[in-house]
Homo-oligomer: A and B are copies of this chain.
Amino acid sequence: MKKKITLKQIARELDVSISTVSKSLRDSSEIGEETRLKVQAFAKFYNYKPNNIALSLKNRKSKAIGIIIPEIVHHFFSTVINGIEQVANEHGYSVIICLSDDSFDKEVLNMEMLANGSIDGFIMSLSKETQFKADFHHITEVINQGMPVVMFDRVTNEILCDKVIIDDKSAAYEAVQSLIDNGKKKIALVTTVDYVSVGKLRTDGYIKALLDNGIPFDENLIIKIENVDTCEIIISKLLQDKAIDAVFAVNELFAVTCIKTANKMGLRVPEDLSIIAFTDGIISKYSTPTITTVSQNGIKMGNKAAKMLIDRLESENEEEENYITEVIETHLIERESTN
């Protein structure tokens, strides 16, 4: 067991001062070559690595990014993390991930913990409960302390900060339009409860597409699901209406449940029922039939969010507050669930 070596120990061994060791290792020209090389050789031999914590304290920055997301087992969020990691690592930042578990309290706790010196800035997506309560004081507070925050996907207008989103409304619009273009007359919507920001926006896009095409919009064709596990009954009730020829779902879990339910009821996808879902998930690629999706491109969102945060962290003029909202383009990936 050989503990990590410190500057102090090197200094003692070599009988020089700590300052001399520090400067030598940072290749300072202040130090004579002989001393410098001697110190460097010694440090290398003992595999000296500076202590990050001491550096953080000294520099008052940690070169770490905090990520707060609702859940990690959702493929979309994993994808975003991947995107963030890529860019962060390129720029010498590490990444600390905390899960809010869609709970307001955990979100607040995690943010407070990370904000106390552990990280230089946040990338986050709001928990459901936070969106429901519409209480964002913890975020305001962090921003007021001068710590930059980038929000993605589940964002809110009530906070001024950089954001990375997709245009949920127009992406939904296009998806529904494509169904209409394919001759679908009666399109149902399977969405979340309204307080989930992206669910609401996608609903708006759905409605607008219908109206723009002169299709009467029917409340009964919209179902708002709170809990994925119990949605099968609601969906099967919806599909009783045999005239429904397409379903637009705001995520792939809803979509695949529609397919399964439809199959059980003797409906074939896509012959009797076309289905499109929002997602960047993996189920769509492997379900039978595979599902046509509006791709959210989580990698790109993550890349962009990390880039925005790091830019802000490393910009000189910290005070300029020209926050921007980056909109990542989406596109329809046509698979077997539509015809």
A residues with a Cβ closer than 8 A to B are: 1-4, 47, 49-54, 56-57, 62, 64, 72-73, 75, 78-79, 81-82, 85, 89, 94-99, 106, 110, 112-118, 141, 144-146, 253, 256, 259-260, 263, 282-283, 286-288
* Residue in contact with A118 in the complex, picked from B53, B256, B259, CB distance below 8 Å: B53
Contacts A94-B98, A97-B97, A286-B283 known; A116 to B52 CB distance under 8 Å? Answer: yes
Inter-subunit contact B94/A114 (CB<8 Å): yes
Q: Which residues does chain B contribute within 8 Å of A85, judged by CB atoms?
A: 98-99
Which residue in chain B gives the minimum CB-CB distance to A106?
A: B89
Inter-subunit contact A99/B116 (CB<8 Å): no
Separation in Å of the A311 CB from the closest CB of chain B?
19
* Residue in contact with A49 in the complex, picked from B50, B53, B75, B116, CB distance below 8 Å: B116
Inter-subunit contact B113/A52 (CB<8 Å): yes
Which residue in chain B gives the minimum CB-CB distance to A114?
A: B94
* Residue in contact with A283 in the complex, picked from B50, B117, B282, CB distance below 8 Å: B282
Q: Which residues does chain B contribute within 8 Å of A256, judged by CB atoms?
A: 286
* Residue in contact with A54 in the complex, picked from B52, B96, B117, B286, CB distance below 8 Å: B117
Q: Number of copies of this chain in the oligomer? A: 2
Q: Which residues does chain B contribute within 8 Å of A117, judged by CB atoms?
A: 51-54
Inter-subunit contact B79/A73 (CB<8 Å): yes
Inter-subunit contact B97/A95 (CB<8 Å): yes
* Residue in contact with A4 in the complex, picked from B49, B78, B98, B116, CB distance below 8 Å: B116
* Residue in contact with A73 in the complex, picked from B47, B82, B259, CB distance below 8 Å: B82
Contacts A52-B117, A286-B287, A287-B286 known; A72 to B78 CB distance under 8 Å? Answer: yes
* Residue in contact with A72 in the complex, picked from B64, B82, B141, B259, CB distance below 8 Å: B82
Separation in Å of the A82 CB from the closest CB of chain B?
6
Q: Which residues does chain B contribute within 8 Å of A62, judged by CB atoms?
A: 53
Q: Which residues does chain B contribute within 8 Å of A97, judged by CB atoms?
A: 81, 95-97
Separation in Å of the A159 CB from the closest CB of chain B?
15
**Cα-based distance from A73 to B1 in the complex (angstroms):** 36
Q: Which residues does chain B contribute within 8 Å of A82, judged by CB atoms?
A: 72-73, 99
Inter-subunit contact A49/B112 (CB<8 Å): yes
**Cα-based distance from A253 to B145 in the complex (angstroms):** 46
Q: Which residues does chain B contribute within 8 Å of A115, judged by CB atoms?
A: 4, 49
Q: Which residues does chain B contribute within 8 Å of A114, judged by CB atoms?
A: 94
Q: Which residues does chain B contribute within 8 Å of A57, judged by CB atoms?
A: 51, 53-54, 57
Which residue in chain B gives the minimum CB-CB distance to A299?
A: B73
Inter-subunit contact A51/B116 (CB<8 Å): yes
Separation in Å of the A218 CB from the closest CB of chain B?
28
**Cα-based distance from A173 to B123 in the complex (angstroms):** 45
**Cα-based distance from A92 to B62 in the complex (angstroms):** 20
Q: Which residues does chain B contribute within 8 Å of A144, judged by CB atoms?
A: 1-2
**Cα-based distance from A287 to B49 in the complex (angstroms):** 49
**Cα-based distance from A272 to B260 in the complex (angstroms):** 22
**Cα-based distance from A110 to B117 in the complex (angstroms):** 20
Separation in Å of the A286 CB from the closest CB of chain B?
5
Which residue in chain B gives the minimum CB-CB distance to A280?
A: B73
Ranked 7 nearest A-B pairs via Cβ: A53-B117, A288-B288, A51-B117, A73-B78, A52-B116, A256-B286, A52-B117
